[in-house]
Amino acid sequence: MLIMNRYIKRQIEKVILKACKYSPVIVVTGPRQSGKSTMLTHLFPKYNYITFDSSDLRMSAKNDPQMFIENLAKPVIIDEIQYVPEIIPYIKIYTDKYTASLKNKEIAGSFILTGSQTFTMMAGLTESLAGRIALFELFPFSLSELDKYPLKVIDFYKQMIKGFYPAPNVFSINPSEYYGDYVSTYVERDVRQILNVKDINSFQKFMQILAARVGNMLNISDVAKDCAISHITAKNWLSILETSRIIYLLKPYFANITKRLVKTPKIYFTDTGLLSYLLRYKDADTLLSGAVSGAIFENMAIMEAVKRNSNNKSGNDFYFYRDNNGVEIDLVIDKGQDVSLYEIKAAKTLKSDMAKNLSLADIKSSKKFLLSFNETAIPIAKGVTAIPWKDFEKNL
């Protein structure tokens, strides 16, 4: 993202550049306005760039997708691919044809596609282009990308109000104005097209009801009742919000993998700025003293872990833990051969009982951490280390 002619480097760049050396098709998905196009045009300035935001270009591609792909100057970045899924089979035909006659490295990086996770056709990309595609997801900025690890608690909350989307951070746009426009644009462009939602006010109320439950177990039946919509409608709307990365559902941890898929998740939002806007928090002082200040801090911490995982293609899985005895762990990171546990506390003064659940949880782990506003790493209980923000990323 450009800021006064200075580009803010994205952590994911390294793995994308590497993939362009071997994969014919690169796909970068992620929430709207997370900086996909800016990053790609910066990384590949010599690529042809087109966007299907242009209605004329969309029509041309839809009318004759085969000719469109054959005549397209390559290598190319195609933005908003979800508007013209008809071209995907012809990208496959093109890559098959040239992969057969050329060395793979000569066609590597020919197509870079971007799109919103909202659209179900994005899931079909991996099937249509199996063996030819490298798939990435770009989230809004992380704290390390912004180079911001505040020492003052109030500065953390100022950042949470601002959120992590590029526009409020790069151009100093008022967060309330930005997120108000973001919701309107998202509803108008995406939700109306995909779900044909006629009652937009109900959908916005649905988002606000979800925001009020941040950090809690999601009972979709209760949400549907509060919003005066059917259970099926609520599930459909929830699915759209999840696949477009407006919300993030954190599943419970069980040794039995099947249980993880069917048990009730916790709900978080991809961005704390949008979350704060939906909850009507306009400044850091009000948020800090508000009833959900701890939940929003927890939300930010969990999403920082998710961003790091996505940016590095680490392949880790994220969960929360809760047992029948009321023992609960905010974040469980399963790395395959290793499991890390995190308790997240919006506090600066630490007490040993904050780490109690980390000791009681029935999960084998040698890495147990208490993440807070504390500024130094200290042992706080047997086998538990209290870590500051500056140490969070390197422990992920």
CA distance linking residue 354 with residue 168, whole number of Å: 34
Domain of residue 105, CATH code = 3.40.50.300
Q: Are residues 215 and 198 in the same domain?
A: yes
Q: Are residues 60 and 172 in the same domain?
A: no
Query: Residue 215: CB partners within 8 Å, gap ≥ 6?
Result: 266, 267, 268, 292, 294, 295, 298, 299
Q: Are residues 331 and 373 in the same domain?
A: yes
- 118, pLDDT greater than 60: no
- Please check whether residue 303 lies inside any domain of the structure: no
Q: Are residues 59 and 173 in the same domain?
A: no
3-state secondary structure of 279: coil
For residue 206, give the nearest of 231, 238, 161, 184 by alpha carbon.
Answer: 238
CA distance linking residue 315 with residue 80, whole number of Å: 26
Asked if residue 31 has a cis previous peptide bond (ω within 30° of 0), the answer is no
CA distance linking residue 180 with residue 157, whole number of Å: 19
- Please check whether residue 128 lies inside any domain of the structure: yes
- Please check whether residue 331 lies inside any domain of the structure: yes
Judge whether 296 and 214 are in contact, CB under 8 Å. Answer: yes
Q: Are residues 122 and 184 in the same domain?
A: no
Q: Are residues 83 and 158 in the same domain?
A: no
Helix axes 200-212 and 231-243, enclosed angle (nearest 10): 70
Number of structural domains (the chain) is 3
CA distance linking residue 164 with residue 274, whole number of Å: 9
Q: Are residues 181 and 58 in the same domain?
A: no
Mean per-residue pLDDT, 137-162: 90
Q: Are residues 290 and 149 in the same domain?
A: yes
4 band by pLDDT with thresholds 50, 70 and 90: very low
- Please check whether residue 131 lies inside any domain of the structure: yes
Beta-sheet strand order (sheet of 25-29) = 48-51, 76-79, 111-115, 25-29, 133-137
151 band by pLDDT with thresholds 50, 70 and 90: confident
Burial zone of 141 (CB within 10 Å; 0-12 exposed, 13-18 middle, 19+ buried): buried
For residue range 267-304, list pLDDT tens digits in order: 999 999 999 999 999 999 999 999 999 999 999 999 99
Q: What is the pTM of this model?
A: 0.91
**Domain-ending residue, one of 137, 155, 184:** 137
- 261, pLDDT greater than 80: no
For residue range 202-245, list pLDDT tens digits in order: 899 999 999 999 999 999 999 999 999 999 999 989 988 998 88
Which percentage of the chain shows pLDDT scores above 70? 91
Q: Are residues 85 and 173 in the same domain?
A: no
- 62, pLDDT greater than 50: yes
Q: Are residues 132 and 174 in the same domain?
A: no
- Please check whether residue 12 lies inside any domain of the structure: yes
The whole domain housing 180 covers: 145-295
332 band by pLDDT with thresholds 50, 70 and 90: very high
CA distances in angstroms from 81 to 103, 127, 334, listed in the order given: 27, 16, 33
Q: Are residues 278 and 322 in the same domain?
A: no
Q: Are residues 373 and 261 in the same domain?
A: no
- Please check whether residue 304 lies inside any domain of the structure: no
- Please check whether residue 307 lies inside any domain of the structure: no
- Please check whether residue 72 lies inside any domain of the structure: yes
Cα dihedral: 243, 244, 248, 252 (round 10): 0
Domain of residue 209, CATH code = 1.10.10.10
Are β-strands 111-115 and 317-322 bridged in parallel, bridged antiparallel, or unpaired? unpaired
Cα dihedral: 34, 315, 260, 271 (round 10): -20
For residue range 200-211, list pLDDT tens digits in order: 888 999 999 999
